[in-house]
Structure 1
Amino acid sequence: MKTKFSGILTLFLAFVVQLTFAQEKLISGTVSDEAGLPLPGVNIIIKGTSQGTQSDFDGNYSLSASSGDVLSFSFMGYKSKTITVGTSTTINLTMTEDLSELDEVVVTALGIKRDEKALGYSSQEVSSEQLVTVRDANVVNSLSGKVAGINVTNASGAVGSESRIVIRGISSISGNTQPLIIVDGVVLDNSSYGNSSSSGGNSTPNGLADINQDDIASMNVLKGGAATSLYGMRGANGVIVITTKSGNTKSDQLGIEISSNVSFENAYVLPEYQNSYGQGFDTTYFEYVDGVTGDGGIDESWGAPLDVGYEFIQWDSFDGEAKPWVSHPDNVKNFYETGITTNNNIAFSKSGDGYNGRVSMGMTDQKGIIYNTDLRKYNFGGKLNFDLSDKWSVGLSVNYTKTESSNLPSLGYGDANNQIGQLVWSGRNVDFQALKDYENLPLGYASGSDTATPINWNLAYNNNPYWALDNNTNTFDRNRILGNVNITYQITDDLSLTAQTGIDYFSSLDTSRRAFGTYESTRGSYEETQRTRYEINSQAILNYNIDFTEKFNTSLSIGGQSMVNNYHRLYMEASELQVPDVYNISNTRDGVTPGLEQTQTDQKINSGFGIAQFSYDDVVFLDLTGRNDWASVLPTSKNSFFYPGANLSAIVSDMIGMNNSFLKLRAGWAKVGSSGPLSPYSLEPAYSFGTAWGTTPVASSPTTLWNPNIKNETTEEIEVGFDTRLFSNRLRLDFTYYDKETSDVIMAKEISGASGNLYFWDNAATLTNKGFEVTLGADIIRNPGDGFNLGITANFARNRNKAQDIDDDPTTNDGSIVLGGLWNVDIQAKEGEAVGAIYGPAFARNEDGEIIYSNGLPTQDPTYQVLGNINPDWTGGLNIDMSYKNIRFSTLFDVKWGGDIYSQTNSWGNYAGVLAETLPGRETGIVGKGVKSDGNGGWVANDVVQTASTFYGTTYGPNIAEAAVYDASFVKWRELALFYDFPLKKWASTGVNQLSLGVTVRNLAILYKKAPNIDPESAFSNSTGAQGLEYAQVPSTRSIGINLNVKF
C-alpha cells in the first residue's frame, strides 16, 4: 500500500510540474506606433514582478510569461497599455501618443524634473542623437541651427578653438554674456582661459568641450528669466542643463554600447588670389640681397607679371642663379593639410533590484589642418543610482577628462609666430612647400649663429612657417573632475528632503616655447602658466506635496545653496634664454630677471530659495519662485539681492476637448540679477606686486577705482507664448515673445589719470532686448512599416538690442563705451544703438553720399563713423529627416541674416595686392568712382588715374576701414548624415540589439554669403569686443566622417 501511495504521489507531482511548465511560455511580438513604425526601447514588464524586457531597434521583444500574467507596455510620450496573456504566444501592440504628456518630463532649474506641459516658459531640448550623429570636436558647435534664439560662434577651424554661446541677445556690456552650464546638477566652468587676442596668443577649448558627447542624454536650453531665476545671479544669461546617460532602469541584463567615428577635415573657405603678378611694386621686381636679409621688407605682390618667361634671383636661388618667375596658385591651399579626428567610446550599463549604473570610457584624437598641431581628449564617466530602502535613495556621478596638446596653433595677426598672418600676404610667386625641408636648405641657418633666423620667403616680418611649427610650440594639458552626490529621503508620502553636493575641479599647465632665431625673439623665450580652480555647490531642498482636493494640487519647496569658488594662477616667464632648447625658467639669460605673476581669488555665494507650484485639474499650472543671493563680490551693504519669478500655463486643448490635438498657452515674468564683470576683489584696493628693483619690492596700485555704492545688474523679463500640436502630432508649432531690460549695467568707465586711476566701476547703462522665437515641426509623410517617411523641423528667431542711458566716455564724450577692437576699428556700445556697433575710419562723402577723391585717391572722414553692427537681423535653421526601410537620412541648414563684419584678410590682402579683385587696372591704372572738387565749391566726377598699388594702398590696410566692412549674412549647409541600420535577425545569436553604419558631412558648403574671401562666421576670441572682427583666423573646416554604432 505504501509503495502504491508513493507511486501515485510521484505521478501527481510530475503532473503538477508538467502543468507549471506548460503554463509558462515564450511571448514575442512587435510594438509600433499609429503609423506602423517600430518603437525601440518600449518597456515591457510583468505586473507585480521585476521581470521585464525592452523592445529592440525593430520594435521586437520576447519574454517568458504564463497565461493570466498582465504585461504592461510603457514608453515616454505614449499612453501606457496593459494586455493579459492568453493562449497566443504572439502579442503585437500599437501604442498611441499621449499628447497631454508631450515629452513627459524635462530637467529644469536646480535639477527639478517637471512635466513639460506644466512649464510657463520656453525651453528647448536637444537630444543625444542630435549632438552625436554629425559630430564636432567641440559640442558647443553642435547646437548651431538647432535651437531658436541661441547664437553660436566658432572662433576658427584650429584644433582647440573656443566657441561662444549667446541666448536672447547681449545682456551685459563688459561682463560675461554666455549661459550657465549645468551637468548633472554640477555647475561647469565654461571658460577657455586661452590668451588669444588680436595681437597673438593661442586659443584653448571651452570647459564644455571636456564633456564626452557620447555620455550626454539631453541638453535642455532654458532661455528666459522665468526659467532661470532659481539659479540666481549666474542665470541672467540663460542656462543649459545637461543630463548624462544612466543605466537601463528596466533590464537586468548587461548593456554594452560601442561607437567609433573617424572624420577627415579640410579648409573649405579660402581667399580667391590673383596669380598674374609676383612680389614687387608697380610691375618692377626687386633683387633679394641674400638668404639672411631676404627681400628687404617687400612682401606685396604688385611686381612683375608671372608666367611670361621672366627669370629672377629669388629667395631660393642658393646658387646665385636666376629662376623662372612663375605663379603658385595653390600655395596657400597646399599649406593646409588634411586633419583627422577619431572618436572611440564604450559604455557598460546594468540595472537590478533597486539600482542602475553606467560606466563609459572615450578617447578623441585630433590632428589639425595646420602642420604639427593636435589635440587629444580622454574621458572616464561613471553614474550610479540606488535605493537603500523604500525611503532612502542615493545618486553618484563622476566624470574625469584629460585634454592635452603638444602644439596649439598661434593666433592673431600681430603674432610673428602666427603662420596664418603671413598667408594673408602670400607672395604669389612663392612655393611654401619648398620651405618645409628647412633643415636641408643650403642657407637653412644662414650665418651659422645660433640666434640667426632660419630661411624664409620673407624674413623681414615672419618666421619660416614650418620651422616655427616644429620649434615654437604651445602645449596644453588640462585635467578636470566633475563629481556629484545626491541623497533623497522620503520622510512621508508627501514630504521629501533632497541634498546634493557637486564639484567642478580642474588643473592645467600651458607652455609657450620660442626657439633661438625666432623673429623678434632671437634669444628665444619660455612661458609657463599653471592654473587650478575648483567650485563646490551644495544645496538642500525640502519638498511638500499637498492635494487639497482631487483637482487642486500644490507642491511647496524651500531650500538653500552655498557656492565656494577658488582660482589660482601662476605665470612665469623667461623672456630670453641662456642655453638654446632648454625650456625652463631657471634657464633665463644672465642679467635678465624672470617674470612672475601670481593670482589667487576666492568667492562665495550663499542663497535661499522657495518654489510654490499650483495645479488645477491638471490643465492650469501656476509657479511662484523666489531666490535671494548674498554675494561676496559686491559691497557688504549691497551684496544681498532678491529674484522673484512667476509663470502660468493652461492646457486649452483639454479645457475645450480638442481631439488629437494639443494647445498650451503660457506666460512668465522674472527679475534676475548679475554681478556683471566684477570679479573677487574688484571693489577693494588690491596691490599688484611686480619684479623687484634690485632688493626693493615693487607694488602697483590698481588702475580701476573701487566704488562702495555699486549695485548689481538687474534684468527684468516678461515672455508669453504658446505650444500647439495638431493632427495627432503631425504639425507642431511653438512661439515665444520676450521683452527684457537690464538696468544698472556695470562698467569700468574711463576717468582722468590725474586721479591716480584710469577707470572707475559704476552702474552706467541700461540694455534692452526684445524679440520672438518660432519652432515649427511637421511630419509631412508618414508611412506604416518600412515605407517612406519625411519630417522637417525649422526654427526662427529675431532679437533687437539697444543700449540706453550710457554715461559719457571722456575719450569720446558721445555716450559710448569701447568694448574692443583692432587696428583702427572699435566695437562699441553706443547710446540708442545695438551693443556691438562697428566704428572706424570711413570714406569722406558729399551731401549726396558720393565718395570724395583728391588726386585720384579716396579721402577719409575726419571722425570715426558707424560702419555696421555685429548683431544679425535674424537667425534660423532647417532640419530635414527622411527614412525608408533601413535607411535614415538627415540634413541641416543654418542661417544668420544681417549683421556686419570687418575683415582684416580683405583689408591687408587688397593692400598687398594678392587678392583677385586687385587685378583690374594693373596696367592701365584705376579711376575711382566718386567726385572731386571743381574748385568752386561744387563737385565733378573723378577722372584722375592712379596706379593700382597706390589706390589700394591708400584705401585698405591701416587706412579706410569702411572699405573692408561687409554684410555678415550666410546660409550654410551645416550637416548631412546617411545611415544604414542592419537587420538584426542575422545578428540575433551575437546579442546585438542595434548595428548601424553611416556617413556624415559637417559644413558642406556656404550656399550664400556676401563677405568675399572669408567665412563670415568668424571672431578672434569669444568676448563681445571681438565679435564682428575677422583677423587672420585659421579657416573653417569641412569634415567627412564614418560612424559605426553597436549596442548589445
Structure 2
Amino acid sequence: MKNNYSRLKWMALIIIVGIFFFLSKTANAATSTLPLFQQQEVSGVVQDQNGLPIPGVTVTVKNTNRGTVTNLDGEYTINAPANGTLIFSYLGYKTVEIPVDNNEEISIQLEEDIAALGEVKINAGYYNTTERERTGNISRVTEEEIENQPVVSPLQALQGRMAGVEVTSGGSHPGMAPTIRIRGTNSLREEGNYPLYIIDGVPINATPVESNSLLGNTGIDPLNNLNVSNIESIEVLKDADATAIYGSRGANGVVLITTKKGGIGKIELEAKAYTGISTVPNRLDLLSTPQYIQIREKAFENDDTEPTESNAYDLLIWDQNRYTDWQEFLFGGNSPVTDLNLSASGGSENTSFRIGSSYHNQGTVYPGAYDYSKFTAGFNLNHISDDKKLDINLSVNYGEDINKSVGNVDLSSGTFRLPPNAPSVFNEDGSLHWEEWTQVGLNNPLQGFYNNSETQTTRLNANLGVSYQIIAGLRFKANLGYTSYHSEELLKIPKKSYNPSSWESTENRSSHFQSNRKSYIIEPQLVYSDKIGEGKIDALLGVTFQKSMNSRLGIQGLGYVAEALIGNLDAAETTINGTSRNIEYKYNAVFARLGYNLKEKYYINLTGRRDGSSRFGPGKRFANFGAVGAAWLFLEEPFLKDRFSFLSFGKVRSSYGTTGSDQIGDYGYLDAYEATSGPGGIYPVQLSNPDYSWEVNKKLEAAIELGFVQDRINVGVSWYRNRSSNQLVGYALPAMTGFTSVQANLPATVQNTGWEIEVSSRNISSNDFTWQSSFNFTLPKNKLLSYPDIEQSSYVNTYRVGHPLDISLLYQYEGIDTETGLYKVTDINEDGSFDYEDRVVIQDRTRSFYGGLNNNLNYKNFSLQFLFDFVKQEGSIGSLFNAGTLNNQRSEVMQALDNGSRFQRISRSLEASSAYSRVLLSGFPLEDASFLRLKTISLGYTLPADIMQVFGARSCKLFLSGQNLFVITSYSGMDPELPGLGTSFAALRTVSGGVQLNF
C-alpha cells in the first residue's frame, strides 16, 4: 500500500503542476485583453472609514473583464486605460466607481453599507439565503476560524463554535471518528443519529468506517480525507425549515461543507506551512512504590492472612525499590505534527479556477514508530458565459491517508493499573520481556505490541453543477455528483508479539479488511424567481436520483513461514474468508420550495419532499415530508420603529415541519439464508418483517434576532422542540426463536427541547485596533417522552420514560458499613441479592449546558484569536480506588489508612471486591465533570508590505497556535471531555508555529 500511496501522490503532484502551468497561461492571457498603448499602472490602498485596510476588495476596470483583489494590507495594482473607470466592490460596503483620469495612484475609503451587512451569502443547500432573510436556523463557520487548526477531521474544528452542535472527540489516535449530535439524540439506535454530510453538493455516507485496529473503537471518520485548509465554510442546518427539503436525510441535521473557489484577477499563489508538537496534557495522581507497598502490606494485615509468592509476588518477588511511571512510559511521548499547503487561483470575469494540494503528518504519543499521514488535492473551475445565461461549476477533491498504529492493542488500557514496581516490559534488545511476568503467571502487559496495523483510505468527491437561464426569471439547474471511498486495512500479527508458551506464538498471522463505498447523485431542477406586486417569489422544483453501492471483505491469513512475508496471502499456509458483503441502496425523491418575500419585511418559506427508499418493503417505501417557515422584520414597521429606537435590527421567525429517517440496515424486510458447510443445505440468518416503515421527526422552533448600536451587537435566541416517533430498532427476540432480533417500529417517542443563544459584537473599531467577539450557549434537554408497555419490552433495563436516553441505572449508595468497613449500597427489595430491581438511581449522562466564547483582536499588523469552550455535566472518576488489590490506585486511597475515610477498609478479600464492584455502579464515583477550556489560540504577525516587496511576495504572515493549552475543572479523571470512565483521554495539547506566503 505504501508504494501505491507514493506513486499516486507524485502522479497527483505532476498533474497539479501541469494544470497550474496551463491555467496560468490561459488565465493571464484572458486578463490582458486591452492594447498596451492604452494602459497605465494604477495602484493604491483601500481602507474603511476608520482607516483600516480592507483585504479582498474586488477592483475591476469598468466594461472589461480585467480585475484584481486587494491584499492583506488593502493594497492593489492594476493596469487600466488612462480614461477608464475603476470599480471597487466588497460585501458590507457601498460599491464605488472612480475615474482613472491619468492618475497613477487611487486610494479610497469605502463606506459601510448597513443594509448590505445581511447580504453575506449563506448556503442553505438547494439555495442561498442571507442572515437577514433566512427563515430557518443555520449556523456557519468560515475558513478564517478553522483553517489553521491542527486537526484531521473538519468536525473537530467545530467544537465550541456553534449553538446546538455537540462534537466529542473519538479518541487520542488520529483518524478516530468524533461524535456529532445536532440538537440531541433522536433515535434509540446509535446508527440512527448521524447527520447528513454534503460536500460541494454531493451527499456522503456519515457512518464511521469499520476497522479491525484501534480505530475500530469509534470507527474511521469518513471526512478524514478532506483538507481542512481548503474549506471555505461549513453550514449546519438544524430546524425543520432548513432541513425538511432534504426529507428523510435531514432528520438529524445537515452538515454542508463548501470548498474554496477561484477569484477574478491574475494568478495568485498561496503557500502555508506549520509544524508543532502534541502531548497528553494530564496525568492521574497514582501511588508511588513506597505508598503502594504500604497499602498492600496493610491489606494482608487487615485480612489477617500471610503473603505468599502466589498472592503477593509484587511484595516477595518483584524489586521493592523499582519505580516506573507507567503513564509517562506509555503515553508520555511527543507527537510531532506537520502541515503543508500549496494553492493557486485566478481567472477572468468569465472563467476562474483554484487548484491546490496539501500534506499532513501526525505522530503518536505512544511508544513505537506509528503515525498518520494525509495527502489531498483539489480543483475547482467556474465559468459563466458572456450573456450570463450559462453557469458551470466543477469541483473535484481527492484525498488519501495512511494510518499506522499498533494494531488491536490499546496501549493505555492497562496503564493505570500496573503496579509501580512491576518489571520492565522490554528486554535490552527491544524484544518483549516475558520471564519475570510468566514467572508469576502473568502476560506482558504489552502483549501484541509488535502487531502492526496499516489502514489506507482514499476518497474522490466530484461535482458538476450546470445552470442555464431559459427565460428571464427561469433557470434550469442540474447537480451531478459522484463519490468513491475505499478503505484497505492490513493487520500483521507476528508470533513474537506473544508469550512463547501461548498458542498465539505458534504462527504468524494477518488480517485483511476492505471496505468500498460508491455513490452517485443526479438532481435536475427548475428555479424560478420574479417580482409579484410588492414582493418577490422564489420557487424550486427538483428530482433526486441517488444510488449507493457498499461492499466489505474480510480475509485472514495463517501460517506465514517468515515475518517478512506476513500480509502476502500467496505465502500464507491457510486463508480464511471471514466476511463478505455487497449492498445496493437506492433513493429517489421529488422536492419543491416556494419562498415569498413581501416588502422585504415579511418572509415565508414552504418546502416539501416525497422520498422513496429501498430499505423498506413494498408498500412502505414512500413517505412525504415538509415544513413551513416564516419571518417578520418587525423593525421595518413604521409604528414599531419609533417604539424600539434602541434597536437597529429586529426579526422574529418560526418554523414547523416533519423530516424522517431510513437509517437502518438494508434488506431487513426480507428473509435471509446462508449456505451450510455441508453440500446442498441452507439455514435462515434473518427474519423478515415487511411492515416496518419510516421514523418521523416533528420539529418546532421559535426565535428572535435583535441588533443594537447600528448592528455592532447582534443577539439571537431560539427555542426548539423535536419529537422523533415510530422508532426503528432491532427488536430483541427470545432465544427460543433462534434469532437475536427482528427489524421493527417501536411505539416510543423521543423529545429534544432546548434554548440556544448566540451573541456577536464589534467591541472596538478604531484606526489601529479592532476587537470582535462571538458567544454561543445551548441549554438542551433530552427525554424519552413515551414508551407504552416498556416494562414488557427488552428495554426495561435500558431506558426510563421521562428521562434522557443516555442514562445509567445505579444502586443507591449508603456509605461505609459500620460493621464491615466496606462500601454499602441499598438492597431495595431486601431479597439478599443485587440486580436491576435495586438500581433505582437514574444518572443523567447528558450535558446540562454547553457553549463557546470566541474573540478576534487586531492591532496594526498583529492579530490574536482565541476560543474558550465550556460544558456543564456530571461524570465518573471510574475505578482505581479499591485499595489493597494487585493494582495501582489513586493516591487518595492513602486516606483509608486513617479512620473516617470515605474509602472502604484496605482489603484484598472477596467480600471487599464484591462491595467495590457494586459501588462502581452507584453514585459514589460520580463528580462534577464541568470544564472551561482554552480550545484554540492563535497569534499572528503580518510583515510590512515594503519588506515583502523585496522578496516579490504580496504578503507574509507568521503565526503561533495552541490547542487545548489548559482546562479549568474540578474533575479528577484524565479528560473531562470523555468523563465516562475517568481513564480515557482525547484532547491532546498542541503547540505549533507556521508561515503563510502570498505571491
In structure 1, the residue matched to 2:823 is 858
- For residues 793-812 of structure 1, what are the structure 2 equivalents within 5 Å? 793-808=774-789
**Counterpart Cα distance in 1 of 2:884 and 2:142:** 43
DSSP 3-state at the match of 1:421: coil
1:257 aligns with 2:270: yes
- For residues 500-649 of structure 1, what are the structure 2 equivalents within 5 Å? 500-517=479-496, 518=498, 521-523=504-506, 524-549=508-533, 551-574=534-557, 582-584=565-567, 594-649=576-631
1:620, distance to aligned residue in structure 2 (A)? 2.1
**Counterpart Cα distance in 1 of 2:568 and 2:51:** 69
1:716 aligns with 2:698: yes
* Paired residues of 1:173 and 1:829 also in contact (CA < 8 A): no
* Residue type of the alignment partner of 2:362: Q
In structure 1, the residue matched to 2:16 is none
* Paired residues of 2:330 and 2:366 also in contact (CA < 8 A): no
**Counterpart Cα distance in 2 of 1:528 and 1:116:** 49
**Counterpart Cα distance in 2 of 1:796 and 1:281:** 46
* Paired residues of 2:880 and 2:890 also in contact (CA < 8 A): no
Deviates more, 1:1028-1037 or 1:482-491: 1028-1037
Deviates more, 1:361-370 or 1:988-997: 988-997
- For residues 385-396 of structure 1, what are the structure 2 equivalents within 5 Å? 385-388=382-385, 390=387, 391-396=389-394
DSSP 3-state at the match of 2:340: strand
Deviates more, 1:200-209 or 1:605-614: 200-209
* Residue type of the alignment partner of 1:870: R
Change (3 A) 1:878 1:958: same
RMSD (CA atoms) = 3.3
- CA deviation map 1:759-800 (0-9, x unaligned): 23332110111111111112222221x2x3322211100111
1:180, distance to aligned residue in structure 2 (A)? 1.0
DSSP 3-state at the match of 1:100: helix
* Paired residues of 1:554 and 1:614 also in contact (CA < 8 A): yes
**Counterpart Cα distance in 2 of 1:642 and 1:984:** 58
Q: Which of 1001, 1012, 1020 does residue 962 from structure 2 map onto?
A: 1001
**Counterpart Cα distance in 2 of 1:895 and 1:349:** 38
Q: Which has the larger radius of gyration?
A: 1
1:947, distance to aligned residue in structure 2 (A)? 4.0
1:663 aligns with 2:650: yes
- TM-score, normalised to structure 1, is 0.83
1:885, distance to aligned residue in structure 2 (A)? 1.3
1:859, distance to aligned residue in structure 2 (A)? 3.0
1:335, distance to aligned residue in structure 2 (A)? 4.5
1:370, distance to aligned residue in structure 2 (A)? 1.1
**Counterpart Cα distance in 1 of 2:879 and 2:577:** 32
- CA deviation map 1:112-169 (0-9, x unaligned): 2223322101111101111123332222111111111110110221222220110101
In structure 2, the residue matched to 1:837 is 807
* Paired residues of 1:258 and 1:346 also in contact (CA < 8 A): yes
DSSP 3-state at the match of 1:117: coil
DSSP 3-state at the match of 1:729: coil
1:608, distance to aligned residue in structure 2 (A)? 0.3
* Residue type of the alignment partner of 2:824: T
1:688, distance to aligned residue in structure 2 (A)? 4.1
Change (3 A) 1:917 1:568: same
In structure 2, the residue matched to 1:477 is 456
* Paired residues of 2:455 and 2:488 also in contact (CA < 8 A): yes
**Counterpart Cα distance in 2 of 1:418 and 1:295:** 29
**Counterpart Cα distance in 1 of 2:542 and 2:261:** 26
Change (3 A) 1:672 1:901: farther
* Residue type of the alignment partner of 2:296: D
In structure 2, the residue matched to 1:31 is 46
In structure 2, the residue matched to 1:351 is 347
Change (3 A) 1:421 1:668: same
**Counterpart Cα distance in 2 of 1:155 and 1:806:** 31
Change (3 A) 1:585 1:38: closer
Count of residue pairs the alignment pairs up: 932
**Counterpart Cα distance in 1 of 2:569 and 2:789:** 48
* Residue type of the alignment partner of 2:878: S
Deviates more, 1:361-370 or 1:324-333: 324-333
Q: Which of 970, 973, 978 does residue 1013 from structure 1 map onto?
A: 973
* Residue type of the alignment partner of 1:439: D
**Counterpart Cα distance in 1 of 2:906 and 2:417:** 22
In structure 2, the residue matched to 1:449 is none
Change (3 A) 1:957 1:425: farther
**Counterpart Cα distance in 2 of 1:295 and 1:347:** 66
Q: Which of 453, 478, 496 does residue 499 from structure 1 map onto?
A: 478
- For residues 972-991 of structure 1, what are the structure 2 equivalents within 5 Å? 972-991=933-952
Unaligned runs of 5+ in 1: 1-19, 287-293, 305-311, 315-322, 411-416, 446-452, 819-827, 931-943, 1019-1027
**Counterpart Cα distance in 2 of 1:977 and 1:254:** 29
- For residues 76-87 of structure 1, what are the structure 2 equivalents within 5 Å? 76-86=91-101
In structure 2, the residue matched to 1:486 is 465
1:675 aligns with 2:662: yes
- CA deviation map 1:835-885 (0-9, x unaligned): 101124x2454xxxx565552212344223445222101011111222211
In structure 2, the residue matched to 1:15 is none
* Paired residues of 1:145 and 1:877 also in contact (CA < 8 A): yes
**Counterpart Cα distance in 2 of 1:624 and 1:493:** 23
In structure 2, the residue matched to 1:821 is none
* Paired residues of 2:241 and 2:605 also in contact (CA < 8 A): no
DSSP 3-state at the match of 2:771: strand
**Counterpart Cα distance in 1 of 2:344 and 2:76:** 21
Change (3 A) 1:795 1:543: same
Change (3 A) 1:664 1:853: same
* Paired residues of 2:245 and 2:609 also in contact (CA < 8 A): yes
* Paired residues of 1:575 and 1:595 also in contact (CA < 8 A): no
* Paired residues of 1:475 and 1:510 also in contact (CA < 8 A): yes
In structure 1, the residue matched to 2:378 is 381
1:381, distance to aligned residue in structure 2 (A)? 0.8
1:990, distance to aligned residue in structure 2 (A)? 3.7
* Residue type of the alignment partner of 1:745: Q
DSSP 3-state at the match of 1:835: coil
DSSP 3-state at the match of 1:859: strand
- CA deviation map 1:84-137 (0-9, x unaligned): 345755433222333333352434344422233221011111011111233322
1:283 aligns with 2:280: no
Q: Which of 415, 418, 424 does residue 423 from structure 1 map onto?
A: 415
Q: Which of 190, 196, 213 does residue 206 from structure 2 map onto?
A: 190
* Paired residues of 1:808 and 1:816 also in contact (CA < 8 A): no
Change (3 A) 1:757 1:998: same
* Paired residues of 1:717 and 1:738 also in contact (CA < 8 A): yes
State the percentage of identical aligned residues: 21
**Counterpart Cα distance in 1 of 2:296 and 2:212:** 37
**Counterpart Cα distance in 2 of 1:171 and 1:506:** 27
1:52 aligns with 2:67: yes
DSSP 3-state at the match of 1:987: helix
* Paired residues of 1:977 and 1:1001 also in contact (CA < 8 A): yes
Unaligned runs of 5+ in 2: 1-34, 301-307, 828-833
DSSP 3-state at the match of 2:132: helix
DSSP 3-state at the match of 1:754: helix
DSSP 3-state at the match of 2:619: helix
In structure 2, the residue matched to 1:791 is 772
1:493, distance to aligned residue in structure 2 (A)? 2.1
* Paired residues of 1:516 and 1:581 also in contact (CA < 8 A): no
DSSP 3-state at the match of 1:816: coil
Change (3 A) 1:792 1:278: same
**Counterpart Cα distance in 2 of 1:134 and 1:1004:** 13
- CA deviation map 1:280-332 (0-9, x unaligned): 9831899xxxxxxx986869xxx65xxxxxxx753xxxxxxxx5614334653
Deviates more, 1:970-979 or 1:523-532: 523-532
**Counterpart Cα distance in 2 of 1:146 and 1:905:** 35
In structure 1, the residue matched to 2:395 is 397
* Paired residues of 1:871 and 1:900 also in contact (CA < 8 A): no
